[in-house]
Amino acid sequence: MTSALTRPARDEAEGRPRTRLESLTGLRWFAAFGVFFSHVAILLPVPYTNELFILGTAGVTFFFVLSGYVLTWTFFAEDTAPRFYGRRFARIWPSLFITTVAAVALLVGGLLWPTEGGTSLVWWTVATLLLVQAWIPASFQSDTVPHTVSWSLSCEAFFYAVFPFAVRPILRRTLRQLAVLAVVLIAISLGTRAWLWLANPQLTLENWFVSDLYYFTTHSPIARVSEFLLGIVIAAAVRRGWRSPVGLRAATGITVGYFALLWAWSWSGVWPTALAEAANRGSIVVFALLIAAAATNDLAGRRSLLSSRPLVALGRWSYAFYLVHFLVLFPIARQVFGLRSLYDFPQPSWAHLPYVLAGLAVSLVLSWALYRCYEYPIEKRLRALLRREPREPKAASPAPGAEPSM
């Protein structure tokens, strides 16, 4: 998910830009890595790190913006909705299926949180596999949802449904219109979250996770679609010839600086719960800047650390890593420290650190194996079948090298 060098394969005038944007694949790994540590902060907290690690929740925001960008970048004028849906199914559903089956097995085997099982487990498993769980607020308070991180895929499924109908009108906009649209989408994303916080000052760290507002502002596909649409707008501007005036190093520095400021803010003790929300929503701006800068860098033919082979490989594994990491961390926390619930927050301890590192190592090995032995081969076969195209030669680079998965 491919040479590290960018190479256009067709004239962009045909509406089919084919330059590989490998830096975006490398960036995917850092986003997945951030999500991993946000769950470490919940399940295996380490002293003095929680305020930093919890900022990793913004990794999902990055994936939503990136998804809109890459799908628009690889869109071509003669594409059809059925073909697009077929490619998306081949890309995300097989790995969702196998990891959901694994999650159910762990749940029934007593390695995850206690559950009532039975009909409720069957219902939530079906909802997960049909990618509709993010539309059901109760899914975030039920102990029979087997695959908790899959909520973002439910959001993505909605984004995919919208994409064929949104991309063409957006691609027809002028650069000035696209700029206005980007500002509007950012204002909607930030404004909605700010209004909810100001209108509900009673929300605290203790009651936030079980409130309907938590569902609406964090997991609802409607609440998150502006992030995906912003990615479409940025890609449309780049396809029209716009290039980021901010270089990749500067954009990286701005992103790091932004999260450093949030981390510093966390030590002030002001609005500790709002911090994670500010990271998720405020990060939409710095992530848009970073994605545009990385794409511009690749289009100019410049190499970067992000397009290096190790990071591109990790980026390809990032979808599998995202799906398996929670299923690794929770059993460790449960077996070693007796963690009993998703809302049973243990106290930070240095004794957790070796288990965090072990969880990271196991997650990496499993994600590599899942990608190489299952995800990529199954995707190739399904894409060939659904599009009625011959399968790629065995030695071909993975395609689509930079496509998002979350």
Q: Is residue 400 reached through a cis peptide bond, with omega within 30 degrees of 0 on the bond before it?
A: yes
Residue 200 burial by CB count (10 A; 0-12/13-18/19+): exposed, middle or buried?
Answer: exposed
Q: Locate all alpha helices (DSSP H) within 267-308, ordered by sequence.
A: 272-299
CA neighbor of 145 nearest in space, from 161, 126, 163, 158: 126
For residue 108, what pLDDT is reported? 86
pLDDT in tens, 180-205: 999 999 999 888 777 776 766 666 65
For residue 275, what pLDDT is reported? 63
Residue 357 burial by CB count (10 A; 0-12/13-18/19+): exposed, middle or buried?
Answer: exposed
* Residues 102, 112: Cα–Cα separation, whole Å: 11
Main-chain dihedrals φ then ψ at residue 29, nearest 5 degrees: -65, -45
- 286 Cβ contact partners less than 8 Å away, ≥ 6 residues apart: 251, 254, 255, 258
Contact 390, 301 (CB under 8 A): no
- 104 residue type, one letter: V
pLDDT in tens, 271-294: 556 666 666 778 999 999 999 999
pLDDT of the chain, 406 residues: tens digit per residue: 333 333 333 434 444 445 789 999 999 999 999 999 999 998 999 998 988 898 898 999 999 999 999 999 999 888 889 999 999 999 999 999 999 999 999 988 888 877 766 788 888 899 999 999 999 887 776 667 888 899 999 999 999 999 999 999 999 999 999 999 999 999 998 887 777 767 666 666 556 656 667 677 778 899 899 999 999 999 999 999 999 999 999 999 999 999 998 888 877 766 556 666 666 778 999 999 999 999 999 999 998 999 999 999 999 999 999 999 999 999 999 888 877 777 777 889 999 999 999 999 999 999 999 999 999 999 999 988 876 644 444 433 344 444 555 5
Q: What is the DSSP letter of 10?
A: S
Contact 363, 307 (CB under 8 A): no
For residue 1, what pLDDT is reported? 34
Contact 45, 352 (CB under 8 A): yes
For residue 11, what pLDDT is reported? 39
For residue 6, what pLDDT is reported? 36
For residue 86, what pLDDT is reported? 92
For residue 29, what pLDDT is reported? 96
Residue 9 burial by CB count (10 A; 0-12/13-18/19+): exposed, middle or buried?
Answer: exposed
Other beta carbons less than 10 A from residue 144's beta carbon? 20
